[in-house]
A and B are shown apart, each in its own frame.
Chain A
Amino acid sequence: MTTVQQATTAADALAAAHTYAARGAALTKVYGHGDTRVVALDDVDVDFRRGEFTAIMGPSGSGKSTLMHCMAGLDGLTSGQAWIGETAIGGLDDKGLTRLRRDKVGFIFQAFNLLPTLTALENITLPMDIAGRTPDRAWLDGVIDAVGLRERLGHRPTELSGGQQQRVACARALASRPDIIFADEPTGNLDSRSGASVLAFLRTSVREMGQTVVMVTHDPSAASYADRVLFLADGRIVDEMLAPTADRVLERMKAFDTAGRVATKEI
């Protein structure tokens, strides 16, 4: 299911929104022009089912981050269209995009996810505070317990470990019950133990709380927490794997390397 039929009618769109938390059709992103022209996304069709945990893998520079940013409304597309739920991103102005990010999307960066002046709890409720909404207490309690940070809610980010900080970021992404959560290498800066707890939490949020999560990772064992893995290369989706295990993912990636692709991960 790596392609979707172009939804031509509103009814189709609505039906699609039921099934898919987010979709992208013919996504193309080109940076620069002339000599510096880079096609980061090349006519990508993609969809993310509700309640599904998707991992995105691929060599450095293959367009993973670009895909996430374009889907989350953080960056504009050169052509193509993306939907979050039933909202087409392409038609939104800055205000609309901002509101979309605030209410419908959760985002977890690799690092620096928290405001240093706010406590953990304040960071978690920040999107709702910005929106002027009162958080759903029961849901919030559930999220906080799931990340296991009840003891640390009053602490500032500098008083938390890297893993704890990432879990606070996860809790924030989840707290406003968005349509979809994008996580760009959320465990990239963590040791394997802290990483595992963050990944376990993401999986729990999908399995038990019915959330939709898309995560970029370079780590096959992290990918194994997902329901499916999408492989990107040169701005295109080149493969998909359902019910991945670390071994199978690793195997698949070796296949990339033997095909002559060299991952040139930047520092």
Chain B
Amino acid sequence: MWRTTWRNLLAHKLRLAFSGLAIVLGVAFVSGTMIFTDTLNRTFTALFESTAADVSVHPAAAFATGVTGPGGGVDRLPSAVVGQVRAVDGVAAAEGYVRTEGVYVLDQDGEVLDTGGAPGVGISWFEERALSPSELVDGRAPEREGEVALDRATAERTGYAVGDRVSLLTPGPRVEAVVVGVFTFGEDGGLAGASLTAFDLGTAQAMLGLGDEFTGIDVRTAQGNPDEQVRDRIAAAVGDDYDVTTAQEQADERAAALEEGLSFITVLLTAFAGIALFVGSFIILNTFSMLVAQRTRELALLRALGAGRGQVTRSVLVEALVLGVTGSTLGVLGGFGIASALRAMFSTFGLTLDGGLVLSASTVAWSYAVGVLVTLVAAYLPARRAAATPPVAAMREDHVTVERSLRRRTLVGTVATVVGVTGLVGSFLVDGGTAAQLVGIGGLGLVLAVIALSPVLARPFARSVGAVLPRLWGTTGHLARQNAQRNPRRIAATASALMVGLALVTAFSILGASANASVDKLIGTSLRADFVVSTAVGQPFTPEVAERLRSVDSVDAVTQVRFGSALLADEETLIAAVDDTTLDRTLGLDYSDGGSAELAGSGLLVDQPTADRHGWAVGDTVEMVTPTGQAAELTVGGIFASNQAVAPALVSLETFTATGGSDLDRYLYLDVADGAEQSVRSAVQAAIDPYPVVTLKDRDEFADEQKGQVDQILMLINALLVLSVLIAVLGIVNTLAMSVLERTREIGLLRAIGMTREQLRRTVRLESVLISVYGSVLGLLLGGLLGVSLTRALSDQGISELVVPGVRLALFLALGALIGVLAAVWPARRAARMEVLDAIATA
């Protein structure tokens, strides 16, 4: 029995390679996704864990701000607190430190070192070595003003060594210093692309204007004192004004935030892994059905000669096992490829992952489990059928496909359709997060519905849309159309890979095009400024830039914009602080009442939805509480139509600074004298040259930059499209090969009565195109529905326009047809090559 098994494996190399490829792809997606996620986690969690002190103390925010990253005020922690903490039982050491973002090393050409979007961090050097996550590898620690130490990666990238002079951009003034030391950070020295610059404590405090205060305290616990216990004791000692967290809590928190930020990618990847596996198992099922069908006689003969049913089944399953194990192994290797491709893609988005890829035991386990199990299950069904075939029947007849009823499909599909449609329609009736959730539920429902219903729809589609085939290609078209109707389940399963892939891509294309159009509209209608000054990844910069620009000739107005978060009437709201004097010159807001004149002093401008929600009118008084706990009474001075260029609420710079807001700018909007747009540019550029971190953009460049982010995400989606196309092609090739094989005698007959090879090829090709166009049409329709609903649901996120990129979608359809043509090449050639007499003689 085993010898037959082996012989079969070898005899059907090509077809096995084929289903093997399907397993490889499916497993590659699963393992690639897992490897990539693990690598992400390793990079960040390891960084957080190895760098966080046992227990840390920070000033408590008045509320947990939804705004992360720079932009809020500077943490301030009086030096007296350090003494309180040291006195706590179980504290081995405690030290105050200063840490800030926005410290960038300029390379030897005076350019900001490209951190790929990761922050440039400045820290004070710890006196207490046990508390420091940094380890000197060269030189010494910075001890006075004018001395810094650099992390090793930064030193290597810039080429600086101990003794070199460097220029640094800081949140305060630009700093010139000498490199006195080089250090590694954390356990493996990885910083995920971030750069780290260490100063002595006094310099760091002066840089942020902290006096003798700190931004935080790090604590090392004494032996035998669990972090949690010490945390609780410290919390009791310092009171409610400070947040006390353990290393574990910090790491978890940041890892969770990271995961949430990347969940979109994970979901997408998982979806594609799902498609790959679905198609993969379908291909395996097909392949084994074919292999078994071809061998029905042989198996029946074995049975007639006394082999038990179990033996026959086992023989097929062993083949599947060998295939599954081989495929999974190659799949894990392929997963590495996918993960490194993703890493490369992400680094172009500005997320650099240092270190090797992480292959965890669970990735390997899952990959094999999925690959082998899917293969075994897919092979079991035909094997059981083969074993159940009575020997006599198998010797007599050629394989008959029994058509099962589609009633259950119709039922399931109908229920899913109802759920899906309800979700999508519901999403149009509500706003915000609920709408997005409804789109999610509705979308999932519709995807399931289409998968369930597509065998039911396949025949009507082939009949109606396929009707053009006979008209254009006569008999070959007619035959292709008839063939496409023969096994609707198989057609549907084949088309579904393309369907799901195209649906995703279509939905995101609509969303992307709408987002881009919204950016254009926004900039067209509300940006009055001629130039925008900002930094690449939105990190704040010194107000000196604005000062310098104000003194440039022909620059009429400079509007500084800062962002922060505050409680307005107890509701957390994103607020923007702007120059009230120049606002109208640079930003055209659409006021329904009041105006920018009322912003000065303690004025407040709110957008319509916010005003409606609170029932505010011009003249009302509103209490604002900032994260630093400072409060202010503001008077509503105007209500404007919601605008993405600003926040739901605007305050004056004066109010912002007075309530503890950061004194760093996020955007500068410049209005120059009419007609001077060209001539003034070089003067403006010259004014900002000393600040390499900020860039100057005119209106078009600014629009392109905004759209660039959308386009990058679209590129990622398109890369995934390529992969789903690849899988779809495999599926179609497989189905066609199977059909060709099943129809060997028909093909022989057709050739005998005078069909040319080219006509035969065309028949196969047209059938293939019909299948792929079917999948594409379903995908486009589904994706269209999802895209439109999603865009609508996100309208309060600034996607105000709805654009359906018709040309692009038409291209997708054409691509679908082309996929059909390509997928048919090999099966068609096989069909055409068959020897007439052999084909006829085939039973």
Contact = CB atoms under 8 A, between A and B. Distances in A.
Q: Do A and B bind each other?
A: yes
Given A74-B837, A126-B475, A117 B754 contact: no
Given A69-B837, A130-B475, A132-B474, A117 B483 contact: yes
B753 interface: yes
B754 A127 contact: yes
Interface in B415-471: none
B474 A129 contact: yes
Contacts of A100: 754
A29 to B, nearest CB: 12
Interface residues on A, range: 20 to 34
Interface in B728-771: 745-746, 749-757, 759
A172 B753 CA distance: 9
B723 interface: no
Nearest to A100: B754
Find the residue from A94, A103, A114, A172 having the highest chain B CB count within 10 A. A94
Nearest to A95: B756
B537 to A, nearest CB: 61
Contact of A126 (B486, B753, B837, B840): B753
A61 B482 CA distance: 38
A109 B483 contact: no
A107 B745 CA distance: 15
Interface in A91-120: 94-95, 98-103, 107, 109, 112-118
Contacts, number: 67
Contacts of A117: 479, 482-483, 485-486
Contact of A130 (B485, B755, B757, B840): B755
A75 interface: yes
Nearest to B485: A117
A131 interface: yes
A208 B198 CA distance: 109
A112 B398 CA distance: 12
Given A74-B752, A98-B754, A118-B482, A130 B759 contact: yes
Contacts of A115: 479, 746, 749-750
Contacts of A112: 745, 749, 840
A93 to B, nearest CB: 11
B753 A130 contact: yes
Interface in A125-153: 126-127, 129-132
Name A's interface SS. helix
A101 B759 contact: no
Nearest to A116: B746
Contacts of A103: 754
Nearest to A118: B482
A75 B475 contact: no
Contacts of B753: 101-102, 107, 126-127, 130, 172
A98 B759 CA distance: 11
Interface string B484-509: 01100000000000000000000000
Name B's interface SS. helix
Contacts of B476: 130
Nearest to B482: A117
B469 to A, nearest CB: 13
A101 B840 contact: no
A95 B751 CA distance: 11
Contacts of A101: 752-754
Contacts of B485: 117
B836 interface: yes
B346 to A, nearest CB: 50
Contacts of B483: 117
B475 A113 contact: no
A27 to B, nearest CB: 16
Nearest to A112: B745
A98 B474 CA distance: 18
Contacts of B757: 94-95, 98
Interface in A57-83: 69, 74-75
Contacts of A107: 752-753
A74 B754 contact: no
B837 A98 contact: no
Given A115-B479, A117-B482, A129-B474, A102 B754 contact: yes
A132 B749 CA distance: 18
A189 to B, nearest CB: 13
Contacts of B749: 109, 112-115
A131 B754 contact: yes
Contact of A98 (B486, B746, B751): B751
Find the residue from B746, B749, B750 having the highest chain A CB count within 10 A. B749
Nearest to B476: A130
B763 to A, nearest CB: 10
Find the residue from B745, B753, B755, B759 having the highest chain A CB count within 10 A. B753
Contacts of A102: 753-755
Interface string B285-314: 000000000000000000000000000000
A3 to B, nearest CB: 27
Contacts of B478: 122, 129
Find the residue from B485, B751, B752, B759 having the highest chain A CB count within 10 A. B752
A130 B751 CA distance: 10
Contacts of A69: 837
Contacts of A113: 749
A132 B756 CA distance: 12
A131 B754 CA distance: 8
Interface string A47-61: 000000000000000
Contacts of B475: 126, 129-130, 132
A109 B840 contact: yes
Contacts of A129: 474-475, 478
Contacts of A74: 752, 836-837
Nearest to A65: B837
Nearest to A125: B475
A122 B746 CA distance: 14
Contacts of B746: 115-116
B460 to A, nearest CB: 17
Nearest to A114: B749
A207 B837 CA distance: 31
B480 to A, nearest CB: 10
Contacts of A130: 475-476, 750, 753-756, 759
B750 A98 contact: no
Contacts of A98: 751, 754-757
Contact of A75 (B474, B486, B759, B837): B837
A109 B837 CA distance: 11
Nearest to A129: B475
A100 B836 CA distance: 14
A99 B754 contact: yes
Find the residue from A103, A115, A132 having the highest chain B CB count within 10 A. A115
Contacts of B840: 109, 112
Interface in B829-843: 836-837, 840
20 contacts: A69-B837, A74-B836, A74-B837, A75-B836, A98-B755, A99-B754, A100-B754, A101-B754, A109-B749, A109-B840, A115-B749, A116-B746, A117-B482, A122-B478, A127-B753, A129-B474, A129-B475, A130-B476, A132-B474, A172-B753
Given A109-B752, A117-B486, A126-B475, 15 more contacts: A75-B836, A98-B751, A99-B754, A100-B754, A101-B752, A112-B745, A112-B840, A114-B749, A115-B479, A115-B746, A117-B483, A118-B482, A127-B753, A129-B474, A130-B759
Interface of A: 69, 74-75, 94-95, 98-103, 107, 109, 112-118, 122, 126-127, 129-132, 172
- Top 6 nearest A-B pairs by Cβ distance? A102-B754, A117-B482, A129-B475, A101-B754, A98-B756, A127-B753
